[in-house]
């Protein structure tokens, strides 16, 4: 009898996505991948759903009787679910194979490269679909070396279709039991466990839905450890448009390997898009063989969250100044906030202790936990990264989740009221109590276009990916001092003294690239660092390089530092970082801005340094001192345009310290002196063909101020992400009233 006789066994290379009913989603996907040039997939064969149906025929009556008990109960009794699962699985695992079928499997097994063990994976017909992933529902077995062991593992794969978690999930997703079948895939092992690397790749950022960056999570050894949460994988970002790696801290693989993986990911994405007739982002498993060092694609499935094109929701704490006790921190999943009473469980056998709406706190989940997970208001784990089981399932179920806290089960008391937040950038946080938060749902399809551009102020690389999803025209202000303070923390001159200039440049360029990459190809303007002397002194090693000033606000800051012999070499490091962002990472949407330029002579000196360092970018200037307005025609030849810093311009025009409570009542950017300067400088820029924008909250806080700026013909506003939608709607209303023509 030949291997393919009777449709019971098929080589993977001979199947594709049109054969899901025969070989299941996983095997169909593997066969599809084998047809693509440049995609290397381990050889293997599929035991088909026909074989499963033939095998199950003698057991059909008994299995259906057990399933009827669940249907009558409505799948609500967890104890009954596990009892039915156990009884069905025992039936399957003790049922013998037909001898002729065993021979088919043996023939196919002998047709593989026998020096390698094999991986045995379940492949259900309702699996790896754009609507639902069924992640980890059925069993997988690695390093299977003999025929008897292979036959045993095939039976166990068959029986895993009836685990409690699998039956519960199918019921939850609306898949009838009589429409679900199972195939088994047998593939040559990729020896990632022997000096190899494995991981997961998403062709979209999993948390924010940002499409510009490809996320790769590698780790030494087998990928099962990542999914099971036993390890925290590294996180690599690759730019979609240039395939340049912008974050590679641990060097599991060289950049060119990640670039190769990303290119394969995009090729797979394009192929699946053609198959499905629409944009499909991909979730891809891969591994590097420890012996041959070859890269293999092990699985590819449609990403199931952002492919649904859900609307954008923004969660935010009402009182940002409120002191909140932090109980644990980890990796965020879901960009949401959840709260409830914490229940700390050591293992799944304690599931009866868990009540609907509680916060699940445990070391790590696996598919057996899913009946509990779907009832949780939030999930917190000690172990795992953003592609572990808990993260995958929580993301698909829409549940707030923080993974890899390390101390969550110890730091969070059972019965405590807690809030789990994933809206604060790169870290997920568990707070004590229920701090007040709100949520704003934004229908991105209904945001009007405007002539006046609405750009964003972005300081944190971690928040850039989410902010880029808002309706915006780029970044009008990205402060480098924010990246320096949070990602470097050391004074640049101190690092130079230690001979560690590259540390400063590399970390600064990495943070900048994440911002520019998130918004690509829209323009991003990075403002060179504008610390005051006291703020520089607070950086590690900074005190020895900074003078003490009575009033740092109007002291040695901005352009005055950049050409000064005492600081010029440090400023050049910022220029080197900018050059790297543009040339190494291919982010030609990068522009720079010079703050606090007091005289045209300073402008000339700084521009010369920037050019001497080979920075080929648009260079803008902050307009925040009356001299910038009065002598605008003398400043502008050195720059592509101005960005009005309304906070500092108000401060320097009215001669008041904006941080002083004693004179804060006088601070008003709508003061006649300030608005006259703004109107004048807009007119000057327009007459010289230069761009002019404004950074500040004024347009979003005061409709009359926004109307004034639009009437003056300002090109853009740059506001914080939390008011981006509000500002866009306000500007649209003003422009409609003024009958402003909006470019198509």
Residues noted as catalytic: 389, 695
Q: Which helix (H) or strand (E) covers residue 157, if one does?
A: helix 147-159
- Cβ–Cβ < 8 Å for 335, 134: no
- Cβ–Cβ < 8 Å for 151, 179: no
How far is residue 20's CA from residue 29's CA, in Å, rounded to a whole number?
A: 8
Angle of helix 568-583 relative to helix 600-612, nearest 10 degrees, comes to 50
Minimal CA–CA distance to 404: which of 248, 250, 226, 238? 226
Main-chain phi, psi angles of 337, to 5 degrees = -125, 135
List, edge to edge, every strand of the sheet that includes 295-302: 245-247, 236-239, 213-220, 197-202, 282-288, 295-302
Give the end-to-end CA distance of the chain in Å, rounded to a whole number: 66
Secondary structure letter of residue 488 according to DSSP? I
Taking phi first (over 0 means left), then psi (-120 to 50 degrees means alpha), and beta for anything else, what does residue 122 get? beta
CA dist 739 → 447, 653, 711, 736 (Å): 18, 33, 11, 5
DSSP per residue, 611-651: HHTT--SEEEEEE-SHHHHHTHHHHGGGSSEEEEEHHHHHH
Residues 6+ apart with CB under 8 A from 649: 623, 624, 625, 626, 669, 674, 677, 678
User: How many whole angstroms from its chain centre is CA 191?
Assistant: 29
Minimal CA–CA distance to 678: which of 665, 693, 688? 693
**With 0-12 CB in 10 A as exposed, 13-18 as middle and 19+ as buried, what is 528?**
buried
In the structure encoding, which two tokens stand for residue 379, read together?
């999930």
């Amino acid at each position: 009898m030949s291997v393919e006789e009777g449709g019971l066994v098929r080589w993977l290379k001979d199947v594709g996505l049109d054969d899901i009913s025969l070989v299941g989603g996983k095997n169909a996907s593997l066969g599809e991948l084998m047809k693509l040039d440049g995609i290397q997939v381990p050889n293997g064969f599929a035991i088909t759903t026909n074989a499963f149906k033939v095998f199950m025929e003698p057991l059909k009556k008994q299995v259906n009787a057990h399933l009827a008990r669940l249907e009558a109960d409505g799948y609500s009794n967890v104890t009954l679910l596990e009892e039915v699962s156990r009884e069905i699985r025992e039936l399957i695992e003790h049922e013998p194979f037909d001898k002729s079928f065993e021979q088919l499997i043996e023939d196919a097994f002998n047709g593989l490269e026998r020096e390698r063990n094999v991986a045995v994976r379940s492949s259900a017909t309702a699996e790896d679909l754009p609507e639902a992933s069924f992640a980890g529902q059925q069993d997988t077995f690695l390093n299977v070396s003999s025929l008897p062991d292979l036959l045993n593992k095939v039976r166990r794969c068959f029986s895993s279709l009836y685990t409690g978690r699998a039956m519960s999930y199918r019921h939850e997703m609306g898949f009838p039991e009589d429409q679900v079948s199972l195939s088994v895939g047998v593939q040559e092992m990729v020896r990632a466990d022997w000096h190899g690397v494995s991981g997961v790749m998403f062709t979209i950022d999993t948390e924010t839905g940002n499409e510009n960056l490809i996320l790769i999570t590698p780790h030494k050894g087998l990928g099962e450890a990542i999914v099971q949460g036993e390890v925290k994988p590294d996180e690599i970002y690759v730019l979609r448009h240039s395939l340049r790696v912008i974050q590679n801290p641990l060097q599991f693989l060289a950049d060119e390997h990640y670039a190769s993986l990303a290119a394969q990911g995009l090729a797979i994405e394009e192929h699946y898009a053609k198959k499905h007739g629409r944009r499909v982002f991909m979730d891809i498993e891969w591994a590097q063989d420890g012996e041959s060092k070859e890269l293999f694609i092990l699985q590819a499935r449609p990403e199931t969250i952002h492919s649904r094109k859900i609307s954008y929701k923004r969660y935010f704490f009402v009182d940002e100044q409120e002191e909140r006790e932090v109980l644990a921190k980890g990796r965020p999943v879901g960009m949401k906030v959840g709260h409830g009473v914490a229940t700390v469980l050591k293992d799944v056998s304690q599931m009866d202790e868990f009540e609907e709406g509680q916060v699940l706190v445990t070391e790590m989940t696996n598919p057996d936990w899913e009946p509990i997970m779907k009832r949780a208001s939030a999930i917190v784990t000690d172990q795992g990264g953003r592609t572990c089981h808990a993260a995958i399932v929580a993301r698909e179920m829409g549940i707030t989740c923080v993974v890899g806290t390390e101390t969550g089960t110890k730091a969070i008391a059972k019965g405590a009221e807690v809030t789990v937040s994933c809206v604060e950038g790169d870290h997920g946080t568990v707070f004590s109590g229920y701090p007040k938060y709100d949520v704003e749902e934004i229908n991105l399809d209904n945001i009007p276009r405007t002539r006046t551009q609405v750009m964003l102020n972005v300081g944190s690389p971690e928040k850039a990916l989410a902010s880029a999803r808002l309706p915006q025209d780029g970044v009008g202000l990205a402060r480098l001092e924010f990246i320096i303070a949070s990602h470097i923390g050391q004074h640049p001159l101190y690092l130079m003294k230690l001979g560690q200039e590259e540390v400063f440049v590399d970390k600064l360029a990495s943070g900048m690239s994440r911002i520019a990459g998130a918004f690509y190809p829209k323009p991003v303007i990075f403002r060179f660092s504008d610390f005051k002397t006291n703020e520089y002194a607070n950086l590690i090693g900074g005190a020895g390089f900074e003078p003490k000033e009575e009033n740092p606000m109007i002291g040695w800051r901005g352009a005055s530092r950049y050409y000064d012999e005492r600081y010029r070499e440090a400023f050049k490091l910022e220029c080197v970082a900018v050059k790297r962002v543009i040339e190494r990472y291919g982010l030609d949407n990068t522009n720079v801005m010079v703050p606090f330029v007091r005289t045209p002579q300073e402008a000339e000196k700084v521009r010369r340094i920037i050019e001497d360092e080979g920075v080929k970018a648009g260079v803008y200037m902050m307009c925040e001192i009356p001299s910038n307005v009065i002598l605008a025609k003398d400043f502008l030849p050195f720059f592509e345009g101005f960005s009005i810093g309304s906070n500092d311009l108000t401060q320097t025009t009215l001669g008041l310290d904006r941080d002083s409570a004693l004179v804060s009542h006088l601070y008003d950017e709508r003061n006649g002196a300030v608005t006259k300067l703004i109107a004048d400088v807009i007119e000057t820029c327009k007459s010289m063909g230069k761009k002019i924008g404004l950074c500040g909250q004024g347009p979003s806080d005061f409709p009359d101020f926004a109307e004034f700026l639009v009437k003056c013909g300002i090109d853009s506003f740059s506001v914080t992400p939390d008011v981006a939608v509000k500002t866009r709607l306000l500007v649209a209303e003003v422009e409609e009233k003024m009958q402003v023509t909006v470019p198509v």
